[in-house]
Structure 1
Amino acid sequence: MSTEGFAPPPQTPARGTVSGRRSFPGARSIAALILREMATSYGRSPGGYIWAILEPIGGIVMLSLAFSAFLRNPSLGVSFPMFYATGMMPFVMYIDLQGKISSALNFSKPLLAYPTVTFIDAIAGRFILAVMTKLLVSYLIFGGIMLIYETRVTLDFVHIFESFAMAALLGLGLGTLTCYVFTRFPLAQKAWGIVMQPLFLVSGVFFLYETIPDPYQSYLWYNPLVHVVGIMRKGFYPTYDASYASPVYVLSIALISLTLGLLLLWRYHAEILTR
């Protein structure tokens, strides 16, 4: 039977072909941005990753020496380094993430001229590397303290990872929003830096939320990092309830900031990059 005039049926693309064409370049771009970030942030100076570990250790040592001079025991447990590490590490994760993501567009601006690299790739690359780095640093610091000191802690990994996840999402959300604000309005970055300077003092790093008298305690509740630190300490000290901590509140701030930041960047990133 003649087949003249009959066109062959359309070829169905193999599974993953269409999505692969869209996602694979993005994955390659993110991987390339991660390698560039590693070389730039940690590879330019000798011992770059060592400094990433020594910086929080220095803060923990200073707090431990300062408060152990006039306090017999920390507010929780028997180890000053462990108590301050449980406050310092989630705080450092948030600070590092928010700072790196807020400057993602400026950092990767030359590469964003290529059509295969998007602003989402730039944000994702910095986010992934920062989270991996801070988790590794936290593991080394917590493990080292438990080996050197008698801590008498009981690890609850669910709450520990919950705290880190909240800190990471909060850093991602506020970092994405401030990424738009800082690149569109450069003076806002200086104002943000001034406002954030006392953040370390009011985030529960070296005190317990319950020890703050009213009405200041009710004011501190609106600082999302107080909730993040409280849940982290709940993961190390089983007697600590942290009933005030609200993951829903922290995630609401993180997701609202992330959504708003992504919408603003999607709408205006072309204008920002041409400046």
Structure 2
Amino acid sequence: MPDIALLYPKDLAPEDLAQLRSVKEVGRFSALRTVAALILREMSTTYGRSPGGYIWVILEPVLGIGLLVAIFSSGFRSPPLGSNFALFYATGLLSMFMFTTTAAKVSQTVNYSRQLLNYPRVTLMDAILARFILNVLTQMVIMVIVLGCILMFTETRSTFHLDRILSSIAMAASLGLGIGLLLCTLISQHPIWQTVWSVLTRPLILISGVIILHETLPQPYSGWLDWNPLVHVSGQMRLAFYYSYRAEYLDVRYVYLVALTCGVLGLFFLRSYYRNMMEK
């Protein structure tokens, strides 16, 4: 009878219903505390142990953008959009970094947190959310620093739309989460997938609209790139900074559909093979 009563809270006495609600609130608060503790642990272990850990996280995209600017500014008079090389490559590279780092962090959740997952208070979703939230916040800070410096210290002749920037960030983060969930089981079960994924992501800078603008490619190559969701992510980011840019190929729903499909499949595999992964 008590179990049946819990299924139908409207049949409970007022004092029992209040107690049930308090238990649920305590459970939610406990889950938030767990996620916050995992985020602090991730910060200290990932960035706190190496000298200048946080500085290198920021220097990586800065050096990448600087290298691209140095190479292409020597051979071309102007970028494919606008007149500022740094802004053009930053809008493509930073959104791609948001995706790649999110997918990498989420995919390694089981391997990274295997010992912690043996504690009853720590669930797999807590660990995934902690790594996801910390990485997204870190990449957003990097975006603010890099784009802010470019807009303040160089001549860009550009304004920005915050809603489109946030939309691009959400698209990249959702896609990284979905693919990261799908990779999590594959990498935990078969580590060779880590190498496979590393090889597959190397040409992304060439086929995701970071260096080569989608509109500059002839058919059928530009049509093939439409299937790459990162092309839509970088297109949305560039819409935020270039008022004359149209990005007629952009399909936000397609990106979220890919992210949702991969995420659902990833959660299904995690639920099916979680016990096997923990026994390794």
Range class of TM-score, shorter chain: over 0.9
Query: Aligned partners of 1:57, 1:78: CA distance in 2, in Å?
Result: 19
Between the two proteins, what is the percent identity of the paired residues? 45
Pair 1:265-2:265 in alignment: no
Deviation at 1:92, TM superposition (A): 0.5
Match of 1:197 in 2: 202
Correspondence list, 1:246-261, <5 A: 246-261=251-266
RMSD: 1.5
Match of 2:10 in 1: none
Gaps of 5+ in 1: 1-7
Gaps of 5+ in 2: 1-12
Match of 2:191 in 1: 186
Letter in 1 for 2:17: T
Q: Is the 8 A contact 2:73 2:85 kept in 1?
A: yes
Pair 1:140-2:148 in alignment: no
Match of 1:17 in 2: 22
Match of 1:92 among 73, 89, 97: 97
Query: Aligned partners of 1:214, 1:12: CA distance in 2, in Å?
Result: 63
* SS at structure 1 position matched to 2:274: helix
Bigger share in helix: 2
Pair 1:66-2:71 in alignment: yes
Pair 1:56-2:61 in alignment: yes
Match of 2:222 in 1: 217
Cα displacement string for residues 96-116 of structure 1 (whole angstroms, at most 9, x for unaligned residues): 000010001110010000011
Match of 1:3 in 2: none
Deviation at 1:221, TM superposition (A): 1.0
State the TM-score, normalized to the length of structure 1: 0.94
Query: Aligned partners of 2:14, 2:162: CA distance in 1, in Å?
Result: 55
Q: Is the 8 A contact 1:74 1:80 kept in 2?
A: yes
Q: How many residues align?
A: 268
Q: Is the 8 A contact 1:210 1:217 kept in 2?
A: yes
Match of 1:75 among 80, 83, 98: 80
* SS at structure 2 position matched to 1:153: coil
Match of 2:52 among 25, 47, 50: 47
Match of 2:116 in 1: 111
Pair 1:163-2:171 in alignment: no
Letter in 1 for 2:124: F
Pair 1:177-2:182 in alignment: yes
State the TM-score, normalized to the length of structure 2: 0.92
Distance 1:208 1:20, change over 3 A: same
Deviation at 1:216, TM superposition (A): 1.2
* SS at structure 1 position matched to 2:72: helix
Letter in 1 for 2:169: F
Query: Aligned partners of 2:260, 2:155: CA distance in 1, in Å?
Result: 39
* SS at structure 1 position matched to 2:135: helix
Match of 1:152 in 2: 157
